[in-house]
Chains A and B, each alone.
Chain A
Amino acid sequence: MATFKVNGVEHTVDVEADMPLLWVLRDELGMTGTKFGCGIASCGACTVHVNGSAVRSCVLPVSAVEGQDITTIEGLAQQARTASTAVGTFTPTSQLSAVQQAWIDHQVPQCGYCQSGMIMAVSSLLASNPNPSDAEIDASINNVCRCGSYPRVRRAIRSITA
């Protein structure tokens, strides 16, 4: 048994302690926005937030998130909406987070398969470092995008940093 919150909703799952969070999300909870890419934490397609920090869920045993708050790509917009509602600036067009909107504005995704993880990784970076240098972006965002969206990822990040 493991109990944790995903996008604000509490879930209790009866699974082995060593089952990676990725497969709990995808196969047990049916939340498929988080992607399987390599299974060895190399590509970052499976990136989620645990208590706000980016983590590669394909190697994270579910036992490690007991009692923790998990945010997936499905919850990112919802989280942004909650935050902006709090300051009274909610509008229908602000449902997406700033990173998601920048991804649309700069037409970042191609096949899009890696972009859930890419967006989660960038969101976590910008939350802790709102104005990263290029070197900090390079060091922090090492997700694989086979379509080569990297120049646009950088452009989109730059559009929302100071």
Chain B
Amino acid sequence: MKISRRRFILASAVAGGGLLVGYAATRPSKHRVANNTLASGDEKFVTNFIKIDPDNEITIYVLHSEMGQGIHTSLAQMAADELDANWEDVRVEQAPALDLYAANDMINGFAEEYGLPNFLKGMVEALSPAIAGMANLQITGGSASIRYTGQHGMRYAGAAAREMLIQCAAEQWGVAASECTTELSHVHHNASGRSLSYGELTAAAAELEPPSDPVLKDRSQFNIMGKAISRVDIPAKVDGTAEFGLDHHSDDMLYAAIRLAPVFGTKLVSVDATEALQRRGVKRVIELEDSVAVVADNYWRAKEALKLVKSEFESSENDNISSADIAARFDTELASSDGDKDFEQGDADAGLEAAADVIEASYRVPYLAHAPMEPMNCTVHIHDGRADLWTSTQDPLSMRGRVASVAGLSEDNVTHHPSYCGGGFGRRLPFNWNVIDHATKIAMEFDVPVKTVFSREDDMQQDYYRPAVFSNFRGGLDASGNVTTWHNRFTGPIQVPGASHIPYAIANQSIRVVDGETHVPIAAWRSVDHSQQTFFIESFMDELAHRAGKNPYQFRMDLLNDHPRHQRVLRTAAEAAGYGQNLPEGHALGLSIQESFGSICAQVAEVSIEANGQPRVHKVTAAIDCGWAVNPDGVESQVESGIIFGLSAALYGEISIENGRVAQNNFPDYEMVRMATSPEIDVHIIESGEALGGLGEPATPPIAAAVTNAIYILTGQRVRELPIRKHKLNPSPSLASV
């Protein structure tokens, strides 16, 4: 892949600048700033993530957005455990959109791991100068919150606060700090039988500088980490009180319904709003560069009036582009270009020439929408040279900055009011600006709050999509059925490095990427490039196994001898699924494995074919090595979620392009797994004790190939194009013995 100069400078500056220990990056102590700006009464911040009041109530500030991954709970567990807090007295608060709570630990973590992945690089570049710009990101993404912010930020914050509280107690008692212990939000001096609550010490502790190198607990000392603690956000989500961005309400607010240019990148030419303006409740019809919006006193009124607005958008060279044209372009690109190097090893050309058997296969997956359950929305209130902002987002700081820049305000004069996110999956990241920009421009026309809402149709047709990718393979086998060569050409761009790389011991590899850019806007979609690449890799691995006459499980295990963690994960999933044992008549097991975002996940899908020629996924058995589990129930629920998200895409998901625009409108033509089609899911967590891995994404990539590999066993049909629903499957006698 291409490494930009900016990326190189950034990575080396971070690596050389001593910023890599996350906690150190928070110095000089930000808790003084927090105490000046966020504390009231006698409560005090002891480190900027932890606030303690005199009654010993502890508030932990979580900088990442809660969008269902349970991050408010698990990050608080990490800080609270190191603090030796009494969990009963811990509250969790979403950290505000202030530089104080930028996700520095996460950015540093990414810089160390990848340089920076493209989806972050764009953000950092736009917020240059590079290093200073990092202070302006508060991103939740990349399955990074626990492994970076948690491991390098929250744990150190908890440990540091604990040491500060001990120091104050020791000074007060005139004893050595080493004689003091902590438990349940109290410091004890056992020799004298004295105790003080953290609340009694907080005022003094807040005056200290946090220690530069606090000592973390050993895993054997954990009291709160490693436990399936109930999520703090769930009670509000069962009684209707949880507030999402779309739920902000005030009696004086107005609502905007919007029609954006249907062909991406085109501009509005003319509008006739005569009829719409006659409708009850309609205040204004606003023309923007690429859209027209109706503002009314109720969203339904705005939406109904918008139907009466006649609008014309400019024509463009993309007006006649369809999915078939894009496919033809990708095929041409793959046929005519050798692309850019992604990974090379050995001599793939020579390997193919020498091979006893060469097999070729072409795979393709379509564009996909994110379709979070909460449609895109943004409420902005511009008044008195300031702006208030309500929007569900994966990066409040960036949204604040964007609104400020669109409205011509200083960032300090924009306040983001936090809310839960009704799903994110990458849709609510920076650079997916459309609803934010439109809402801000519309609100600039009023002095009351204006809530701009995308209908589900807008949401589906004005997304930033998971890229469609084509991937062509050639594999070489020697006379004994050993794989000698892996040759892969796929359409880009590469959004996250390494997704197309394989863990398998194959001597000759050539993996190269060709241009896959079209006029369709793209962005990170849950697991970024891994959902496409894992389908390709794990399907083609299965093709090679069957061609070599080998059992797909043993075939993989033999090629993973250098990766014992992978072997253990695959073995655990296979054994738990009963791989190799008798199955009900007409059922088969397909398997798949992938490492992504620091975790390794294997899945075994039990599948049969229904009378309508479609697969039925009965059960998915998953094993995941995420190092260790901060909250085991949270791990299980993220694996369940990732599997179902990936299964919806594999079975049904397709965004197609007709006349330059998206053809799908709403859920009926972008179907999801529902109760009736949801498999039983059995999750096995492997506590390897290795570095923490991510969880929001790693369970999404493997499922597609696990299902299609089972379909091959049942039908002899190799599904090389998703979604599966496009294929008519024929139940037939098993071709393989598994």
Contact = CB atoms under 8 A, between A and B. Distances in A.
B374 A111 contact: yes
Nearest to A144: B672
B653 to A, nearest CB: 12
B280 A144 contact: no
A115 B680 CA distance: 20
A59 to B, nearest CB: 11
B139 interface: no
6 contacts: A23-B300, A111-B420, A146-B373, A147-B644, A151-B640, A152-B637
Contact of B69 (A110, A116, A152): A110
Looking at A26, A73, A110, A137, the one whose CB has the most chain B CB atoms below 10 A away is A110
Contacts of A141: 675
Interface string B204-240: 0000000000000000000000000011011111111
Nearest to B280: A16
B374 A147 contact: no
A112 B234 contact: yes
A35 interface: yes
Given A19-B300, A107-B231, A150 B666 contact: no
Contact of A113 (B300, B423, B674): B423
A32 B235 CA distance: 16
Contacts of A119: 238
A94 B255 CA distance: 38
Given A109-B237, A110-B637, A113-B374, A30 B249 contact: yes
A109 B640 contact: no
A76 B455 CA distance: 28
Interface of B: 67-70, 230-231, 233-244, 246-247, 249, 251, 255, 280, 297-301, 371-375, 420-425, 453, 455-456, 633, 637, 640-645, 648, 666-668, 672-676, 678, 680-681
Contact of B668 (A28, A42, A113, A143): A42
A36 B372 CA distance: 12
User: What 3 pairs across the A-B complex have the smallest Cβ distances?
Assistant: A33-B240, A148-B644, A110-B68
A9 interface: no
Contact of A107 (B234, B453, B456, B666): B234
B298 to A, nearest CB: 4
Main secondary structure of the interface of A (DSSP, over half): loop
Interface string A119-154: 100000000000000000111011111111111111
B298 A28 contact: yes
Nearest to B680: A151
A38 interface: yes
Interface string A64-87: 000000001110110000000000
Contacts of B242: 112
A73 to B, nearest CB: 3
Contacts of B298: 15, 19, 23, 27-28
A154 B677 CA distance: 12
A153 B675 contact: yes
B674 A144 contact: yes
Given A104-B230, A146-B372, A148-B643, 14 more contacts: A33-B239, A35-B246, A36-B299, A36-B453, A39-B455, A74-B239, A107-B637, A111-B67, A111-B422, A111-B424, A112-B237, A114-B373, A139-B676, A144-B674
Nearest to B70: A110
Looking at A26, A34, A119, A153, the one whose CB has the most chain B CB atoms below 10 A away is A26
Looking at A15, A111, A147, the one whose CB has the most chain B CB atoms below 10 A away is A111
B621 to A, nearest CB: 13
Given A40-B456, A40-B666, A138 B641 contact: no
A103 interface: yes
Contacts of A146: 371-373, 423, 425, 645, 672
Contacts of A112: 68, 233-234, 236-237, 242, 420, 422
B246 A36 contact: yes
A161 to B, nearest CB: 15
Contact of B675 (A37, A137, A147): A137
Looking at B230, B425, B643, B674, the one whose CB has the most chain A CB atoms below 10 A away is B674
Nearest to A42: B667
A121 to B, nearest CB: 10
Contacts of A72: 240
A34 B239 CA distance: 10
A38 B666 contact: yes
Contact of A33 (B241, B251, B424, B453): B241
B243 A32 contact: yes
Given A111-B68, A112-B234, A112-B237, A148 B280 contact: no
Looking at A40, A72, A103, A112, the one whose CB has the most chain B CB atoms below 10 A away is A112
B455 A111 contact: no
Contacts of A42: 666-668
A113 B238 contact: no
A60 to B, nearest CB: 12
A43 interface: yes
Contact of A103 (B238, B246, B247): B238
Contacts of A43: 373, 667
B612 to A, nearest CB: 16
Contacts of A154: 675, 678
A33 B70 CA distance: 20
A74 B643 CA distance: 31
Contact of A142 (B233, B644, B676): B676
Looking at A23, A26, A146, the one whose CB has the most chain B CB atoms below 10 A away is A146
A65 B230 CA distance: 38
Contact of B238 (A28, A109, A110): A109
B609 to A, nearest CB: 19
B675 A150 contact: yes
Nearest to A77: B239
A1 B243 CA distance: 29
Nearest to A139: B676
A109 B255 CA distance: 28
Contacts of B423: 111, 113, 146-147
Looking at B240, B242, B251, B642, the one whose CB has the most chain A CB atoms below 10 A away is B240
Contact of A27 (B68, B231, B255, B666): B255
B251 A30 contact: yes
B6 to A, nearest CB: 34
A117 to B, nearest CB: 9
A113 B422 contact: yes
Interface in A18-70: 19-20, 23, 26-28, 30, 32-40, 42-43, 45
Contacts of A114: 373
A138 B234 contact: no
A2 interface: no
Contacts of A35: 244, 246, 373-374, 422
Nearest to B251: A30
B247 to A, nearest CB: 4
Looking at B239, B299, B372, B420, the one whose CB has the most chain A CB atoms below 10 A away is B239
A148 B696 CA distance: 13
A4 B643 CA distance: 43
A77 B241 CA distance: 12
A27 B645 contact: no
A108 to B, nearest CB: 8
A38 B247 CA distance: 16
